Amino acid sequence: MKTITLSHGSGGKMMQDLIKDLFLKNLGNPFLNELGDAAFLNCRTKKLTYTTDSFVVKPLFFPGGDIGKLSVCGTVNDLAVSGAMPRYLSCGIIVEDGFSYAILEKITISIRDTCKFAGVNIVAGDFKVVEKGAIDGMFINTSGIGEVLNNSEIAIPRIRPGDKIIISGTIGDHAASILLAREDLKFKTRIKSDCSPLNKLVSSIICRDIKFMRDPTRGGLATTLNEISLASGYNIAIEESSIPINKSVRVLCEILGFDPLYMANEGKLIAIVSKDVAANVLAKMKKHALGRDARIIGEVKKEKDKKVYLKTQSGGLRILDMITGEQLPRIC
């Protein structure tokens, strides 16, 4: 008998196969089949985006954030990288019997403060309590609606060979922060999650020359680039020497045997940009606090093997496959 494992929620190959073989098979329609961060909905006067996400992070609090902040940022960012300005969120909270009122209030205040910072409102909600042990403390689901920006045209089919790939900052910070908080590891340097709403960064750089964007959450940079390569059909090549990685994150990964290319992020975006304007987009990105460490890390190639290649610092080539297992479960 088939069963669902933690690896099915990794964001990698097993999750992609599950989505294709189970969910799309039974629920597929023109909106869902796009498999975007958000669905595009045509209304009479405005083009809207809609998305939903669930958050099961462990522990509930970590350096740089908590499950409340994460739930808002995750949904805001899915709307933002779709080229939309987030407007309205719903929030569903599930806790187990005996959950601390003080902790629930603290997380609710975090949700409020993050919404205020991002410029969105919680306009609908739900609250459920289940038997003790039925869940691990608290789970949150958030859904969101955004208005597509006038100068935005985010679509996979627009990607062409020669387009440049930009990452908005250092990778792996969120996963490293969760790992240290969960395992209570004694590490000299405190690593803070990058959990942040990206909508203001996106609105500062958006233009029609930005072909596509995605936030590299579960599965990290490598898995997200594989998703883009599979969807566009083109190979992608990136330079190891150009990828920004916090020194402390790199050291932690070396000690524990993790690959930062597959580590989750919650405040970074990947942008596929026309080569003629890539430098200009990068300069604009660097002016924003969340983009100061942005880099051009590679480009889309003309070959159509649907592969992602890493040019190593030693000059070799490494194929970056989509992650198959689970480096670190319950990351978001």
Domain ranges of the chain: 36-148, 156-319
CATH 3.30.1330.10 fits 36-148, yes or no: yes
Q: In a 3-state reduction of DSSP, which class is residue 280?
A: helix
Residue 290 pLDDT grade (very low, low, confident, very high; cuts 50, 70, 90): very high
Does the pLDDT of residue 324 top 80, yes or no?
no
Residues of the chain with pLDDT > 90: what percent? Answer: 86
Mean pLDDT value across residues 65-78: 98
State the pLDDT confidence band at 51, using cuts at 50, 70 and 90: very high
So what's the pLDDT on residue 179?
Answer: 92
36-148 and 156-319 share one fold: no
The string of pLDDT tens digits covering residues 86-132 is 999 999 999 999 999 999 999 999 999 999 999 999 999 999 999 99
Tokens found for residue 14: 């097993």
Q: Give pLDDT, residue 197.
A: 98
CB-count exposure of residue 147 (10 Å: 0-12, 13-18, 19+): middle
CATH class of 156-319: alpha beta
Radius of gyration for the chain, computed over Cα atoms and rounded to the nearest angstrom = 19
pLDDT band at 165 (very low <50, low <70, confident <90, very high): very high
**Listed residue (221, 252, 269) closest to 74, CA to CA:** 269
- C-alpha torsion sign, points 275, 277, 281, 283: positive
Residue 183, pLDDT score: 80
User: Average pLDDT for residues 268-278, to the nearest whole number?
Assistant: 98
If one counts every other C-beta atom within 10 angstroms of the C-beta of residue 103, the result is: 16
What distance in Å separates the CA atoms of residue 52 and residue 74, rounded to the nearest whole number?
9
Supply the pLDDT for residue 130.
98
Q: How far apart are CA 224 and CA 221, in angstroms?
A: 5
Cα(216)–Cα(214) distance, integer angstroms: 6
Side-chain half-sphere CA neighbours of 24 within 13 A: 14
Q: Rounded to two decimals, what is the model's pTM?
A: 0.95
